[in-house]
Amino acid sequence: MTTAADFDELFVARFAAVVRALVVLGADRSTAEDLAQEAFLVALGDWEKVGRLDRPEAWVAKIAVYKWRQLRRTVVRRQELSRRAWPFPNACEPQPAEDVERRSDVVNGLLGLTERQREVLVLHYFLDQTVDEVAQTLGIAPGTVKSTLHDGRAALAKSLEPSYADEFRKGGQS
């Protein structure tokens, strides 16, 4: 079962079942279809190996479920981080004028940084990535991340009011 026709046959026979399984797990229909397509694409990319398995449909289902779990974790993590991400509270909640002004100042300050400084600060503080994770994400050395965090915090602090510039100048845990 290693030919393109075999793959096509598997796709036609099992795609709807994989989508249904993902919907039962909690995905909406559109997301389930996307995840099922991704799982089948992974199978197609390694069809020489997958096609030789006793039950390639089980392998595809495993990949689809893995992708669903990964998506769910990502969504939950983003929701959690967005709740904790200072200074960007939920936009739907009423905001004191001071908080709105502070957010605007921070956003404008971030826009005034170099692209690399902005990326490093956002990944580290708003996506809660460690120095090593930021380095891996951007393909740079951890030492470069640390120095960029230092320089970016200093540059951002210069653009902020003294009352909260110290928060950025000092930084957080690296």
CATH code for the domain of 130 = 1.10.10.10
Asked which of 60, 84, 108 is the last residue of a domain, the reply is 84
- The more confident residue out of 126 and 121 is 121
In a shared domain, residues 66 and 130: no
Total number of domains in the chain: 2
Q: Is 15 a residue whose pLDDT tops 70? A: yes
Mean pLDDT, residues 18-46 taken together? 91
Q: Is 81 a residue whose pLDDT tops 80? A: no
Enclosing domain of residue 20: 4-84
Q: How far apart, in whole angstroms, are the C-alpha atoms of residue 21 and residue 76?
A: 21
For residue 92, being part of any structural domain is answered with: no
Tokens read off for 26? 């909690």
pLDDT of residue 163: 55
Q: Is 18 a residue whose pLDDT tops 60? A: yes
C-alpha separations of 5 from 11, 16, 51 in Å? 10, 18, 11
For residue 64, being part of any structural domain is answered with: yes
In a shared domain, residues 107 and 67: no
Q: What is the mean pLDDT of the chain?
A: 81
In percent, how much of the chain has pLDDT > 90? 34
For residue 91, being part of any structural domain is answered with: no
pTM of the prediction? 0.48
Asked which of 40, 63, 84 is the last residue of a domain, the reply is 84
pLDDT of residue 174: 43
Q: How far apart, in whole angstroms, are the C-alpha atoms of residue 8 and residue 2?
A: 11
For residue 158, being part of any structural domain is answered with: yes
pLDDT tens-digit series, residues 86-124: 555 555 554 555 555 666 777 778 888 887 898 888 778
For residue 89, being part of any structural domain is answered with: no
Mention every residue, 6+ apart, whose C-beta is less than 8 A from residue 72.
26
Q: Minimum mean pLDDT among 36-45, 118-127, 134-143: which range?
A: 118-127
pLDDT of residue 158: 85
